[in-house]
Amino acid sequence: SDLQKQEERGELLQPLIFVLLVLCSVLLYFKVSLMDPGFVKSEEEAGNSEEQSMVIPQVPSNIKMRRCGYCLVKQPMRARHCQLCQHCVRRYDHHCPWIENCVGEKNHPLFIAYLSVQLVVLLWGGHAAWSGLYFEQSWDWLRHNIFLLMSFLLIVIFTIVVLLLLISHLYLISCNTTTWEFMSHHRISYLRHSELENPFDQGVILNLWRFFC
């Protein structure tokens, strides 16, 4: 049959890989959306003082943990309260409206993996849409290709957004900082009173290693 001939020629391999990538992207989306991003639990308070003492030495020792005014737990360093999630989140990065969840200590690496897979899917889809376009200066051509053309333009827009988001996150990870710390540096006590611009930075290689491994 035609299907067997296509399989023998290897023509089904690329569509199969593309479908698997889309499935992987969907699974990562739900995983990142539904998992605990690193919520600070009240029962963890007993271990917070020990954790605070093990913080990188460049952080001023006179910076004490404060109690959250919303959920009343003691916030470990780099945690922040998210009013949308109604929880304090460890190593808070930002609340992502696309996944309807915070990006924090536990799901940040998976969020990067999701963006990476999504970027590959978008680039592949954009290539497929572009290869299906052949341009003619006529209304009849536009009427028959308007859906494919709009799909390509949407893919381009989403690709640019995902690419910029991925690049910005990889840059912040390589500096061992978060979106919240980068945007609100002047308002965060442990950064404002530190002698260093970023007391958590231990070099690009070590920063990446500790984040992903």
Q: Angle 107-110-111 (CA atoms, 0-180°, nearest 5)? A: 80
Asked if residue 107 lies in contact with residue 101, where contact means CB atoms within 8 angstroms, the answer is: yes
SS3 39: strand
- State the residue for tokens 């308007």: 146
- Side chain identity, residue 3: L
Least Cα distance to 176 among 78, 57, 81 occurs for 78
Instruction: Pick the catalytic residue from 85, 96, 102, 175.
Output: 96
Q: Catalytic annotation on 96? A: yes
List, by residue number, the catalytic residues.
96
